[in-house]
Structure 1
């Protein structure tokens, strides 16, 4: 009869560790939900599951009822059993370790206090329940695995296996607890694998977040580079023109200064909108802006086709490509004219300047990245009759 009770206690105690794994899984993802203020029914009432699983501590309880130890030790056993239950349920209610799991965050001091309290409580029942105190070990193991550090997991696992092995092989009733030893070893393997998967999942999630943040920063940097580079190039050219005109044609110089003021205001607004993630320049507006910028330095721009031939998403990509291509013409090409071809699924910018040198600077790389993000093919080369041909196709 004692052997049957022992085997049942071993099986039940091992099963009682399962909620710890569930709590730990919730810590990795659910902690973010708690920070956002959400409170799912599981987060509010999950502690009830912990309380239900503690029913398997009925075996130490039965051992206390049958105990023939001194009354002092029996009373101590009852108090210790109650303390163990309270600590375990409280730990479960607060994410398996009083405010956060140790799998992905540093355990708080209260977690170590709770862990020590569970060990002391279990130890105080030994004089009154004897080997039945081994029923506490699966709960202690799971607390260490999911609520503390990896080092605590390994040390607790080794200690629990060692203690159970000593009881099995060095005490007269040891063989009756052999099944507990097997279950503790199995539970240790399960905890090791499951916590490793949880940690790797959290690391993958964190890496994905870092990658997304990095990509977002690169996108903002690219937007600001394209916008500011274009605007400053035009402003610089207009400022040079103003310097030449200020004595010979003051009225035109004033007009150019007004254009500079307008361009800088637009650039500032554009940078602010880009950083806020809401910039969306229309292709029609960009065509007008680039035409004005080129005209200011006596470069003619001709548009063949209709801007509405492209979808909104394609127009956005084309707008950024046109902006950067115009900046390159102003800075490097020495062109006299620029032709823009627009057709369904195709956008091309051709100038009659010095041609493509073959080296991709930041501007060309930026255009290629823009096209890739927009799901388009990008090509830049020297045109058939000279100059540079920039082509985007979807």
Structure 2
């Protein structure tokens, strides 16, 4: 089925194994009777409708709104449950927790709590009036199990809300960081471009050579600023190794830095996602800080390196490298940053074999 959500259906179906209990009890009490066969058939039908309902409720029937789709499936399940209760009597108490699940998981607390209370009280009262001898055993199905299901639903909902909030906060922090970076980059660069363009305008008649030099500096500054902005905005995407390598090539080329990048990204294997972060952060630092002429990115199955020939790293790790270090450590790798002879050039290396080369 095109719109069938198999994962939701599977998760809901796991608990249907509970319905084996009333089927076994029915066989033990009645033997091979018409009531037994009919009861087991109706329990199986209830299981099927319940599983399908969780897989289809978000999409089908297409012509109905979401509230009406919910009522459609809840009503259909209720009809099967009523027919089952007519046949197997108080053993239908085992069906009550499944209705509580249909109330508790998709509906807000203000709706599900009173509905669950009415369902529990109503089913308990009905069994008490029709089969008083079945009490208090039926309370396991009409009271204890529903309360447990509802508690699980509340905990699950709270966990999902917390995870969603943390995700939103992470996105907000990332956007704020990017906004600050772009502001700082453009604010400084555009100020310098403005000053140099004004100076070039004054020199163009009196000292054409100096004016040309200022214009060349404006060109280089503009290209560097563009590369920095591209590198910063790239952080908004979830990294993909092939995409990161291509983005790195564009950023380096725009900044006037020779890009020597690995073409075969498949060698990264299971480390591809981590390598994406390494390439992103490493090339961003080269573009921003190194004043390099050449940058090389190499990778194997257990190592990725970003090497430049610019001014060496001063040893202080900013937020980017610190965050990358944590990410690499969590993945079981080691991040090292070394400076070349004479303080020239920087090698950012991530090893997945437990230590530096």
Q: Deviations over 1:197-235 (max 9, x none)?
A: 111111111111111111111111121112111211211
Change in 2 beyond 3 A, CA 1:283/1:125:
closer
Match of 1:52 in 2: 17
Contact kept in structure 2, 1:67 and 1:129, CA below 8 Å:
no
1:146-225 aligned within 5 A: 146-151=105-110, 153-171=112-130, 173-181=131-139, 183-225=141-183
CA distance in 2, matches of 1:158, 1:201: 23
Contact kept in structure 1, 2:93 and 2:142, CA below 8 Å:
no
Contact kept in structure 2, 1:111 and 1:147, CA below 8 Å:
no
The number of residue pairs the alignment matches comes to: 249
Give 1:56 shift: 1.7
Contact kept in structure 2, 1:168 and 1:176, CA below 8 Å:
yes
Contact kept in structure 1, 2:95 and 2:141, CA below 8 Å:
no
Which of the two has higher C-alpha Rg?
1
Contact kept in structure 1, 2:10 and 2:51, CA below 8 Å:
no
Structure 1 residue 285 corresponds to structure 2 residue 267? no
Q: Deviations over 1:228-273 (max 9, x none)?
A: 1121121111122112212211221122122212222221222112
Change in 2 beyond 3 A, CA 1:83/1:222:
same
Structure 1 residue 252 corresponds to structure 2 residue 256? no
Structure 1 residue 83 corresponds to structure 2 residue 45? yes
Q: Which has the higher contact order (CA 8 A, sep 6+)?
A: 1
Structure 1 residue 313 corresponds to structure 2 residue 278? no
Change in 2 beyond 3 A, CA 1:136/1:124:
same
Contact kept in structure 2, 1:67 and 1:74, CA below 8 Å:
yes
Change in 2 beyond 3 A, CA 1:186/1:53:
closer
1:1-394 aligned within 5 A: 49-58=14-23, 61-62=26-27, 80-91=42-53, 94=55, 98=57, 110-151=69-110, 153-171=112-130, 173-181=131-139, 183-277=141-235, 278=280, 279-281=284-286, 283-285=289-291, 308=312, 310-311=314-315, 313=317
Contact kept in structure 1, 2:19 and 2:43, CA below 8 Å:
no
Give 1:285 shift: 2.3
Q: Report the TM-score when normalising by structure 1.
A: 0.52
Q: Report the TM-score when normalising by structure 2.
A: 0.57
Give 1:81 shift: 3.4
Contact kept in structure 2, 1:60 and 1:129, CA below 8 Å:
no
CA distance in 1, matches of 2:22, 2:159: 32
Contact kept in structure 2, 1:168 and 1:178, CA below 8 Å:
no
Change in 2 beyond 3 A, CA 1:84/1:146:
same
